[in-house]
Chain A
Amino acid sequence: MSQGKKQRIHIRNGLVIDPANNINEVRDVFIAKGKIISVSSDAPDGFNADIVIDASGHVVCPGLVDLCARLREPGQEQKATIASETAAAAASGITSLCCPPDTKPIIDTAAVATLIHEKAQAAGKASVYTLAALTRQLDGASLSEMGALKNAGCVGVSNAYAPFKNNLILRHAMEYAASHDLVVHLHAEDIDLRNDGCVHEGQISTRLGLAGNPAAAETVAVSQILALIEQIGVKAHFCRLSTARAVQMIARAQYSGLQVTADVSAHQLHLTDMDIGYFNSNCHVSPPLRSLRDREGLRAGLSQGTISAICSDHQPHEADAKLSPFALTETGMSGLETLLPLSLRLMNEGLIELMPLLASLTCQPAQLLGINAGTLTPGAKADICIYDPEREWQLDSTTLRSKGQNTPMMHWEFLGQVTHTLRHGQFVFQLD
């Protein structure tokens, strides 16, 4: 979107929650030239608003920062496009999101990263960041040109779901990334232990006769990575934890001073393997939905701060990708549009206060990515989400904007709906 004359906007009377600045009260937000001018009770001297938004009864918070959303472009445009998914993000209050490197082609050259950044820029609905491939072609064997990829704007490195050939390669990859000050995002899974497992190994895998993915596939990988980190002293970020035990291991590592962080997908905080019912392929995700005990462990990890970010783990699919017997379907669910509502549900269930909850959706993931986003600090880019916390709505095919309709939460009722999203001081979404 071409940036015309930026308007002066006055957001009146909303409950402003800005975790980075410890603000949690009714205030006004003043925006000019695409940036936050002030968050206060009175207009700055000489401020004449072009637009006044009455946010009474609404929450005004920084635009959400999503650590992991697959936009499927380049390479899988039959599933979704950067334009379609960033529009869905904007409608969900998400103003910044980060793509993992497993696009087609893979983000292991500056050209692919640049292509994504430019397409996102042209679409103009959300700021799109990229993680570079940690190894060339995600082969788990040879290092990517991380220096060049960082210059091209990649904010971190990851091997996505692809395994490393061995721990020596992983060690070198982490050391090399550290020398470029790139945070390594790791999907901790021992693929041998996972074997052909497609659901959590336990009661449900046994009943349905589906191959089980044991919790140890995650915990064994986490413990190996922690041992390596301790040895070489680098930062690392664990993506999409799924087991209670891994949360405990990471909590202990954090306590002993290791620089490790972790995130969880919103769906893992709500669903368990029981939700698979009779082979619901929309619940086929990686890592798999696990036991109730694991879900409680993940929730505890969030409320106690071991897990510092909730992400959408958005993986849109075309309908056909999910129309097969369970194990043959592709993994992942469409998640952008349930990120905020599922998170708010945690607050409504009494797990966590609004301020730390929004921190895990704004300033904390922004900090993990090292990007300037997720705050309402004067001078910051005006990325803002306004939502009505009392508004009830239902997720269905008419409200779902993503091209990926693959969510097991279809027809769920939610409380709290985004009414406005601003990115760089411009409206990228307004509810009709």
Chain B
Amino acid sequence: MKQQHLQLDHNKRLRHFLTTEGLKRDLLVEILDTAESFTSITNQQIKKVPLLRGKTVVNLFFEASTRTRTTFELAAKRLSADVLNINVSASAASKGETLLDTLRNLEAMHCDMFVVRHPNSGAAHFIAEHCAPHISVLNAGDGRHAHPTQAMIDMFTIRRHKHEFHNLSVAIVGDILHSRVARSQIHALSTLGVPDIRVIGPRTLIPADASTLGVHVYNDLDQGLDGVDVIIMLRLQRERMSSALLPSEHEYFRLYGLTKEKLALAKADVIVMHPGPINRGVEMDSAVADGEHSVILQQVSHGISIRMAVMSMTMSPKGTSQSERDA
């Protein structure tokens, strides 16, 4: 497959990180293991390693984001890279400059990595296909397609709590149709061997032929949560009401909102995740968001380690891949 070639170099090592789809299990595990090794750095007083010294990372954001951009920036800085933040939605795009033009301009500034967020699905693939060969592209979210680093953060968090993947039931609840996070999670979960992946939501928010992704579809929250080990709640955008996909936030919360009562349907040691930011009282009750099962804040802190891992793996042929460190 072309995408395999695009994401991997000739040694089958990660070159770009565009999607979790089609990557081998070993590689996903290597990302998790590498991230694990970086968590200790985060806890040190001097939080820097020189792996990307002299490299320039460009955060190329065509869509507003604070949290994702900040963690990518922190990750790059802890790897000693220079970081350039470019918010394109406000500048070039509005002047009619094409994505390719923007890319050529940045290439001319001798950058080494693009961290890209774009409102259109496929934008990161497009950039990876057209940028200079020495540049690595990390997808920080493209349209509804993929958000692979967020998915790996979630895998990391699941592994920390559950240790294994092969015996888990994982439920993803909410707006699957518009969610790039859900797509990346589904691919990662199935590659890592999770046997029971469920998506739960009203039919208006479940994509066509969703079962072809290898998931079980539930329209009823109670049935879907029955006996699960992990619950991932997705953010609900306000515009879903105006486009007649949902009647109201109130009804959504009543039917799909996570409350203590609903949580009781899952396993006793269930963990609750959310890629953030949370709409309290829409997707979940505050009592759940701040409760003992919630690992939402841990997800945020894992964000930096995962992004450091992916950056170091893609950037340097002599980087910190597990096999080389073992050698």
Contacts and interface: CB of A to CB of B under 8 A. Distances in A.
Interface of A: 201-203, 205-212, 214, 277-279, 320, 323-328
23 contacts: A202-B208, A203-B208, A206-B208, A206-B209, A207-B213, A208-B121, A208-B122, A209-B143, A209-B146, A209-B180, A210-B122, A277-B3, A278-B1, A278-B2, A279-B122, A279-B126, A323-B130, A324-B99, A324-B126, A325-B126, A325-B143, A326-B126, A327-B120
B110 to A, nearest CB: 23
B226 interface: no
Contacts of B2: 277-278
Contacts of B180: 209
B86 interface: no
B97 to A, nearest CB: 12
Given A207-B21, A326-B120, A326-B121, A278 B6 contact: yes
Interface in B1-48: 1-3, 6, 21
Contacts of A279: 121-122, 125-126
Contact of A209 (B6, B145, B209): B145
A26 B44 CA distance: 87
Contact of B144 (A202, A210, A277, A328): A210
B212 interface: yes
A209 B122 CA distance: 8
B118 interface: yes
A135 to B, nearest CB: 28
A165 to B, nearest CB: 21
B65 interface: no
Contacts of B143: 209-210, 325, 327
A323 B120 CA distance: 13
Contacts of B98: 320, 323-324
A410 B209 CA distance: 31
Interface in B157-202: 180, 183
A209 B121 contact: yes
Interface in B126-145: 126, 130, 142-145
Given A203-B209, A207-B21, A277-B2, 8 more contacts: A205-B208, A209-B146, A278-B122, A320-B100, A324-B120, A324-B126, A326-B121, A327-B122
B185 to A, nearest CB: 13
B213 A209 contact: no
B123 interface: yes
Interface residues of B, number: 29
A23 B3 CA distance: 50
Instruction: Identify the 8 closest CB pairs spanning chains A and B, nearest first.
Output: A209-B144, A209-B145, A279-B122, A325-B120, A206-B207, A325-B123, A209-B121, A203-B212
B64 interface: no
Contacts of A277: 1-3
B268 interface: no
A203 B215 CA distance: 13
A242 to B, nearest CB: 16
A278 B183 contact: no
Contacts of A325: 99, 118, 120-123, 126, 142-143
B241 interface: no
Contact of B120 (A206, A212, A328): A328
Contacts of B209: 202-203, 206
B297 interface: no
Given A323-B130, A325-B118, A325-B120, A278 B125 contact: yes
B210 interface: yes
A209 B126 contact: no
B198 to A, nearest CB: 16
Contacts of B123: 325
Nearest to B127: A325
A159 B179 CA distance: 36
Nearest to B187: A207
Contacts of A205: 207-208
A206 B212 contact: yes
Nearest to A279: B122
Given A278-B3, A324-B99, A209 B183 contact: yes
A97 B195 CA distance: 56
Contacts of A203: 208-209, 212
Contacts of B120: 324-328
Contact of B145 (A201, A208, A323): A208
A328 B210 CA distance: 25
Nearest to A276: B122
A203 B210 CA distance: 7
